[in-house]
Structure 1
Amino acid sequence: MIYDVLAQPVKGIDFAPASEAAEILQNLRTIITTTKYSVPLERDFGIDADMLDLPINVAQAKLQSEMITAIKKYEPRVEITSISFTGTDDGVLVPKVQVRIKNDNE
């Protein structure tokens, strides 16, 4: 089964997700919406924001690379199938990551 995860923060954290899939998807959302160096005891966690203010095509390439690296490191239970972007008129990129959960029995 393929799951879509948008890089948009969600209010609150579910400390008791209903399933392993829900836990994994929440972890992915946290990884791709956290700025690197913002987590005090894990400075390398998240996505580096160095691509801010770069041209959109360059920013997309760098952001995609950052997301792949971070997801592989911090949530190895998934396989990334694609990463796509939507944008707003004011230049905000919203990544969408599609993943397949390894060993998913659904």
Structure 2
Amino acid sequence: MIVSNNVVPKHPKLMELYVLLNTKRGTVPLHRDLGIDNRMIDRPITVIKNNIFNELQMQVNKYIKGLTLNNVNCKATENGLEIECEVEIDERI
């Protein structure tokens, strides 16, 4: 399944990832590590892709049980950074 930061999904676990992709780090009280680091915006797209995969992997493992992050694609658009995550859902969890 593909989850983008631009399209709201219907599945609850995918919705959690959508919220994570659209949250700026440091803005959630008691969970200051949740979200995307804003400092990444000014880096080259190849650096963003590698860093964001590692960050999202840690956050998905911590906050979204039953979701496996397989791949992350990033591209710069006229509306900003578009992030697409390829994920698998384990419905048993």
TM over 0.5: yes
Superposed CA RMSD: 2.2
Q: 1:75 to 1:64 in 2, by over 3 A?
A: same
Q: Which amino acid aligns with 1:88?
A: T
**Alignment-derived partner of residue 90 in structure 2:** 102
2:64 aligns with 75
With structure 1 as the length reference, what TM-score do the two structures score?
Answer: 0.71
Find the residue that maps to 1:51 and give its secondary structure.
helix
Of residues 69, 75, 83, the one that matches 1:86 is 75
- Higher helix proportion, which one? 2
The answer for the alignment partner of 1:56 in structure 2 is 45
Which whole-Å CA distance do the structure 2 matches of 1:42 and 1:8 have between them?
23
Q: Which amino acid aligns with 2:87?
A: V
Unaligned runs of 5+ in 1: 11-16
Q: Which runs of 5+ in 2 are unaligned?
A: none
Confirm or deny: 8 A CA contact 1:9 1:33 kept in the other structure.
Answer: no
TM-score scaled by length of structure 2: 0.80
The sequence identity of aligned pairs, in percent, is 27
